[in-house]
Copies of this chain bind each other. A is one copy, B any other.
């Protein structure tokens, strides 16, 4: 493990999943990590797991990382700014403008505060689920502020293997409203429609419904805080969404009226255009071809398939497994570069695999 770029002691307040994970990563790089948590039990657990040490007389942190729930983040940041008059203080909350405004209103020394937000995959779990690697390859937004203090956060981001992205608090909040918070609301509202539905109807569910509702299983307590704290940009996007929904409803209420089918078609084409903007693997919007291959539902079969794809000297860009209700096999959807699709299909069929479909 390389030495840390972060200089001096680092104090982490809040030893949940994010705080403890940062602690593990920095400790592994030789940083003196001081942990604090209002829960003595949580704090001791994080120390036992090796995320850092308890606070002690003479501590003098150069950097304080506040990793507490969004609704108490501003208060804790203000207290830390006051307790450590030379330190840079950052936080990892998933909303940024409200915290900045609260700090300014409270008269905190915001010149030493740099807001940040790692877009880490899992936001639940506590110290037990913490891992040094959860930030690897993820975007980590760093807010505006003093350049020397910002570079401290950039060093932290590099140490943790994340990818730094510069954004103001307002840009950040509008961006996550669009790519995270509004999708959460939309998916949740769709899933709600299933709650009282007949068993027979949900029995027809396929991968499309599973994908669109997956994030609706997220933790309600955490998401109430996030949605309430970022309400303004979320409301703006949801209003535009409702405008589109009203237009579709009007068209579907009279689908044979002049222009109705055109309105529906343009809505669908707009959806196509929107999806095309989402970056895929390695941040590029590449187009891959998909092969769907039948795989028997027993240990080792999928490994054998992937080994044989490797033997065919094809790099798989993505893989998705799908199981059919009542069937004793799964469908593996393999994404590959379009130019190798035909050759791979031929090689796999020659080895006895059943190809259930192909699609550009």
Contact = CB atoms under 8 A, between A and B. Distances in A.
B265 A220 contact: yes
B268 A188 contact: yes
A300 interface: yes
A9 interface: no
Please tell me the size bucket of the interface on A: 35 or more
B306 A165 contact: no
A203 B269 CA distance: 22
Nearest to A270: B192
A265 B171 CA distance: 26
A337 interface: no
Contact of A228 (B215, B261, B310): B261
Contacts of A183: 190, 208-209, 212-213
A241 B200 contact: no
Given A217-B272, A228-B260, 4 more contacts: A193-B241, A195-B273, A195-B274, A317-B323
A134 B119 CA distance: 38
B187 A271 contact: yes
Given A204-B119, A249-B238, A300-B307, A268 B220 contact: yes
A221 interface: yes
Interface string A288-329: 000010100011101100110110011111111111111101
A197 B303 CA distance: 40
Given A137-B324, A186-B190, A315 B302 contact: no
A223 interface: yes
22 contacts: A122-B359, A125-B358, A133-B294, A137-B326, A137-B329, A178-B194, A179-B206, A185-B245, A189-B271, A191-B272, A193-B237, A208-B214, A213-B278, A214-B275, A216-B271, A218-B268, A224-B264, A228-B264, A242-B245, A242-B246, A283-B325, A307-B307
B327 A323 contact: no
Contacts of A329: 136-137
Copies in the complex: 2
A119 to B, nearest CB: 6
A151 interface: no
B255 A231 contact: yes
Contacts of A212: 183, 186-187, 211-212, 214-215
A3 interface: no
A271 B277 CA distance: 27
A209 B307 CA distance: 30
A182 interface: yes
B252 A191 contact: no
A258 interface: no
A256 B229 CA distance: 10
Contact of A325 (B133, B137, B192, B318): B137
A51 interface: no
A62 interface: no
Contacts of A184: 208
Interface stretch (A29-37, A99-107, A349-357): A349-357
A22 interface: no
Contacts of A240: 193
